[in-house]
Amino acid sequence: MNKGMVFLVGAGPGDPGLLTLRGKELLETAEVLVYDRLASREFLELVPAGCEKIYVGKESGRHSRTQEEINGILVEWALKGKRVIRLKGGDPFVFGRGGEEIQSLSAHGIPYEVVPGVTSAIAALSHAGIPVTHRGVGQSFHVITGHTAVGAGDGDSLTGDFDQYACLPGTLIFLMGLSNLEKIVENLIKYGKDPRTPAAVVTNGTLPDSRCVRAALSSLPEAVRRAGLKPPGIIVVGPVAAFSMTCKKELPLSGALVGITGTDGMWNKLSEKLVSQGASVVRAGISRIVPLNKEGLSGHLDRLDQVSWIIFTSTNGVRIFFEAMREGRMDLRALGHVKFAVVGSGTGKALEEQGLFPDYMPEEYTTEALARGLLSRIRPGESVLIPRARMGSPILRDALCQGGISVLDVPAYDVEAEPVGREALLELSRLHYLTFESGSGVRGFFGELGDEKKRLLETGPCPVCIGKATAEALSAFGIRRMKIARDYTADGLLSAILEDWDHGSSRL
């Protein structure tokens, strides 16, 4: 039988940037992805579109699959000849039960590779400013499970070796133990650990909403209750827990948590700009550009000799228009008589990358300003071509038509937004801002659970819209509280957030 291969990949502690290069390379070639409950959904976006995704995550008190079932899934797909990626939080061998999965694969003669991951036992504490070792203070560290599987099933119970743990020198690190925090503290003190020992709990380590609570060991459970920390979390006990070696560099957006919806292009541009200003960012919704009506656009390309102006309202329109020209084996000579207008600097730059410069760009990057400027430049009776989004704003088209201009309004692409499910709403509620780059993206965001998402945006993150048309789409869902970028660009969104942010004093 043609056997496939299984790759056990450690996803790291949560921050997508801490996935190893080898792990990313394998995810991009996966045929089947078997994955745990992950701290970041961005890992799932790395796999190919046709990849089979199988969730087998385990949560406290609720298991999607037993370990035996997971082993069976890996064996089944590998025996079908598939390239299977088993993605596990942290490292596969740090309480990840990777060894059990390998034993099952070996019993069936299935080849495998293990790709180590950064363990949260070190990374989450480091992110919170706690070094696991420090000269003269903690010269060793011990990683302990906060519960252990017993019997034949997957039930959890607290381990019984606290007489040994309490006597260990250095740093004690308990993983998956926050629900047992009181018992852990009680047993450590019972068997001799000084109640005054520095201790801490870190939740959502390495993620934008990471939190850390420090206290003396005996006071830690009460401090965690007051702070409202919820599992999963890491417990650290030892003198190093008193350290707070976090970066003190203050940037304009330090402390701000921003969710970005939209296309890969917007994510790449805006996330880099926000991070450079000190913000933490998460991918909060994915939109994809889908070219459509290529035959219709090609038909208009055959009539370019009748067109005086081509007007672009987005970078996507520029890209798809020139892709259609190349597919039709037309070059720039066919555009020698045409003038070009763009809505803003980002679209203008995209046009320049095609070897052409805009003849008109309004000072204010809005479709209203674009329409006003063109009405004074285009004569009645002239013909213009507008390749744009299917659900784009009709403002420009209607204004030009009212001015006696013949408009060829061609839907060149559509924006499809992936639905944002209920499981993502809790993560989004922790944000300070949520950006939208198009009306289509807004409508995709509200595609399901509309009432819950309306409540989220009324009381949670402040929506930031790339322009008036996007703001109008948001208003149609009853949202009144929002910020609107003056420029239809990633820089415009950044400026709107910078103007509103006051280093977190009024929002945290």
Domains along the sequence of the chain with CATH: 5-118 (3.40.1010.10), 122-242 (3.30.950.10), 257-289+417-500 (3.40.50.10090), 291-415 (3.40.50.10090)
Choose among 139, 170, 171, 143: nearest CA to 159: 143
pLDDT at 367: 81
Structure tokens at 47: 């796999």
pLDDT at 105: 96
Successive 10-residue mean pLDDT values, the chain, 508 residues: 87 91 96 87 86 82 78 95 95 93 96 96 93 92 74 49 91 92 94 95 86 94 92 93 79 88 87 88 84 72 87 89 88 90 88 94 84 91 88 83 89 81 78 90 83 89 88 90 87 93 53
The verdict on whether 15 is a catalytic residue reads: no
User: Distance between CA 264 and CA 416 in Å, rounded?
Assistant: 12
pLDDT at 295: 62
Select which of 15, 91, 176, 273 is catalytic. Answer: 176
pLDDT at 149: 35
pLDDT at 273: 92
The verdict on whether 36 is a catalytic residue reads: yes
pLDDT at 416: 81
pLDDT at 150: 32
DSSP structure string for 332-379: GGGGTT-EEEESSHHHHHHHHTTT---SB--SS-SHHHHHHHHHTTS-
pLDDT at 305: 85
The verdict on whether 190 is a catalytic residue reads: no
- Dihedral (C-alpha) 98, 104, 110, 113: value to the nearest 10 degrees? 10
Select which of 36, 91, 156, 487 is catalytic. Answer: 36
pTM comes to: 0.64
Structure tokens at 46: 């790395």
Select which of 15, 58, 468, 487 is catalytic. Answer: 58
Structure tokens at 182: 């009181």
- Dihedral (C-alpha) 213, 216, 220, 224: value to the nearest 10 degrees? -20
Q: Please name the amino acid found at residue 335.
A: L
